[in-house]
Structure 1
Amino acid sequence: MLEDTLVEEDIHPEYVSAAITHAGRVRNSNQDAFVDRPAVNLWAVADGMGGHMEGDVASRKVCEALANFKFGDTMDATVTDIQRRMSHVNSVLYAAAVRPINPVQSGSTVVAFVAKRTSCAILWAGDSRAYRLRHGTLAQLTVDHTWAAQIAARFADIETDLDEDHSIMRAVGGEDILVLDVRRERVRLGDRYLLCSDGLTRELSSEQIARLLGQGTVHEAAQAMLDATLAAGARDNVTIVVIEAG
């Protein structure tokens, strides 16, 4: 491939994106939120948790914390800045949950994608996911912070009855200290990335996601995945962010 013959400094991908969210077929409210900021190459999905409107507030706070984001001098500095912003939101939500008078328990997953030229980083907590579609092959780039995923990762050869336990083990606001997992990789021209809440992955298989993510423009791909999710029942809120390096 041409991009494989060039040094990184020669490649300046233009990132284009599309984002869409929907309450789904069952929920009365939408507690998801997203960040779609191609001008600074930052995208994120947050899935709020908590009764009534608390989950909505939590996911919104996560996304608002990234509203004035600017890329740092290095990718290391940028990742540290995102971690700092998420830790601040975590402290606010956790303090509200443990205060003695009128405590409010809420939290939010987060998956964020940031890119500079051909370098990118994915940060996450919870079960909102990041995928990459490269030359027709789909790869899940995040590991869910759920009991089911952790058991599967540790005991791949042992059958358990926890496969359907999707309880969140890590989230913004869940503990006094937030730990975000971080993955870095090189972006290739033509790569498409998907950030999504579990409302999508509960309804669509990896094969369906791979097929739909590769369709048309980023806007057409996002709409196709939403339409398929709604057709499958959309039992939860669904949020989809599609990013392409062109």
Structure 2
Amino acid sequence: MPYVAVSALSHPGLLRSRNEDSLVIGPWTLCATVTESPQTLVFPLGGPLAVAVADGLGGHPGGEIASSLVVQRLAAVGSDLTGEDAIRDVLDACNREVYEAAGGDDGGELATMGTTVAGVVVRPDSLLVFNVGDSRVLAVDGDGLRQLSVDDSPPLEPGHRTTSIVTQCLGGSPFYRAVQPHVAPVPLTPGDRYLVCTDGVTDPLPPEVIEDVLSRHDDGRAAFELWKAAIEAGGPDNITLAVLRVGDEV
């Protein structure tokens, strides 16, 4: 029977006092959690399966609240995410929910809390890749490492590989702002590997390191080695990732 295997972990890194990342795999969520050993879940390939990360905005209050709201909503409605419009609708609803939880037009101490989100919905014949912000979805196959998500970031300055600025997110503003989620179908090929992660992975690690780890290790080991590499690179941010693979039979 075809299946989907997902190995995931979430960790605050070395410099942050708390973990503001959250993770969803089907009905399962991790919110503001510390794990150092990957958790692996296996699902039959069939109905829609949502796998996503949410990264609470650093420097803003309530990042862990915003990210947990988003993954809990995705966990609740994941089986209904059958198409691109359904994903856009739920991300629009998440944006509104984060804004209202922050106090809405009345503001308050959580007025600018916000989060990025990136993930996939696995279907029998394709993936639906989605994101708002700079968390990423990557794929590694015979052609190497490819980025499937679209960064909501300004152009990089010369000599810089990353930026901490995002041009859109869920919430994150004292006034309501609509979002334009990136959603795109991608053909699903059994055996290909996919990485869904926050920028605590992609900021400190160059693409060639990520590709090497995903190419050389099995799912759980790859998740651990990516976390280890990010920690050895200084662990400057929260680290949350999910390595996803579709197989032909268990």
**Same fold at TM > 0.5:** yes
Aligned equivalent of 1:125: 132
Shift of 1:27: 0.4
CA distance in 1 between counterparts of 2:104 and 2:206 reads: 38
Aligned equivalent of 1:107: 114
* Cα distance per residue 1:126-156 (max 9 Å; x no partner): 000010011261111122101126xxxxxxx
Give unpaired runs (5+ residues) of structure 2: 27-41
Q: Would you say 1:25 and 2:14 are equivalent positions? A: yes
Kept in 2: contact 1:51–1:106 (CA 8 A)? no
Aligned equivalent of 1:177: 178
What residue identity is the alignment partner of 1:36?
I
What residue identity is the alignment partner of 2:108?
N
Shift of 1:59: 0.4
More displaced stretch, 22-31 vs 165-174: 165-174
Shift of 1:94: 2.4
Count the aligned residue pairs.
Answer: 223
Give 3-state SS (helix, strand or coil) of 2:122's partner: strand
More displaced stretch, 121-130 vs 175-184: 175-184
Shift of 1:49: 1.1
| Residue among 106, 126, 145 paired with 2:152 | 145
Shift of 1:80: 2.6
Q: Whose strand proportion is higher, 1 or 2?
A: 2
TM norm structure 1: 0.82
Aligned equivalent of 1:87: 92
Q: Would you say 1:203 and 2:192 are equivalent positions? A: no
Kept in 2: contact 1:136–1:214 (CA 8 A)? no
What residue identity is the alignment partner of 2:236?
R
CA distance in 2 between counterparts of 1:239 and 1:221 reads: 13
Aligned equivalent of 2:54: 46
Give 3-state SS (helix, strand or coil) of 2:194's partner: strand
| Percentage identity across paired residues of the two chains | 30
Shift of 1:213: 1.3
CA distance in 2 between counterparts of 1:52 and 1:185 reads: 33
Shift of 1:164: 5.5
Aligned equivalent of 1:232: 233
> Relative to structure 1, is the Cα distance of residues 101 and 224 closer, same or farther in structure 2, using a 3 angstrom cutoff?
closer
**Bigger Rg, structure 1 or 2:** 1
RMSD: 2.3
Shift of 1:53: 5.2
Give 3-state SS (helix, strand or coil) of 1:123's partner: strand
